[in-house]
Amino acid sequence: MKPKTINIDGQDIPFTPGQTIMEAATAADIYIPHLCHNPDFKPHGSCKLCTVQVNGRSCSACTMPAAEGQQILSNTRELNDARRSLTQMLFVEGNHFCPGCEKSGDCQLQAVGYYVGMLGTHFPHFFPSRNVDASHPDVMLDLDRCILCELCVRASRDVDGKQVFGIAGRGMQSHLVVNADSGRLADTAIAATDKAAHVCPVGAILVKRTAWRHPIGERLYDRESIAEVALEQDQAEAGGRHG
């Protein structure tokens, strides 16, 4: 039986029923920029970096099911310009100062910035006043860097079974919260071995006593672009999930 296919930027890509456009693209070694997507979790569609044109309509590749006959545009000037603007906005609405951040070289936001050709932030910085919670003996929470991808929320709820994190507020007032009466990470059941402690794509959640183990030039995205790393990791995780 002839496999079902979608077309991405002129290339026919096979897919299996139930796959999203992102999953089909990843299996075919096609990178679509993303931050909130992780094969371990149900698609979320919050960062919008993976927006593609499907038969002329804008859709999130991580949530849109693949379907026979779809004509998809991803690598276009218009979409890449929009991704660059979204990345710039993520930088300015938080406090992301790469030279002083211990995640520099291992940060997905920074790596996406390089990938989309972001040479400056363009927009005025918000410089928000946000807390740093170092109360836990093994895990640190730096809300300066949170991009509200909700990966830690999903990891703690769906994998760790602890529901340590949540999102409060709406719109510009949305922010990550800790599910403890005190609001302190020390008063939760999070452990350094939890999935939630390691899934953050930026430097908002850090395991203590692990910083700077690899010098500049030897960190993850110093060696490979985010396109290479994401395809390797997403394919491995998807394979493990379905294996």
Write down the pTM of the prediction.
0.92
Instruction: Kindly compute the dihedral angle of the four CA atoms of residues 95, 97, 100, 101, in this order, to the nearest 10 degrees.
Output: 70
Residue ranges of the chain assigned to CATH 3.10.20.740: 5-81+226-242
Amino acid residing at 184 = R
Taking only the tens place, the pLDDT of each residue in 161-213 is 999 999 999 887 889 999 999 999 999 999 999 999 999 999 999 999 998 88
Burial 117-141 (b: 16+ CB within 10 A, else e): ebeeeeeeeeeeeeeebebbebbbb
CATH of segment(s) 98-223: 3.30.70.20
Class of domain 5-81+226-242: alpha beta
91-150 pLDDT tens trace: 999 999 998 899 999 999 999 999 999 999 999 998 888 889 999 999 999 999 999 999
Residue limits of CATH 3.30.70.20 in the chain: 98-223
**Which residues are paired to 166 by β-bridges?**
177
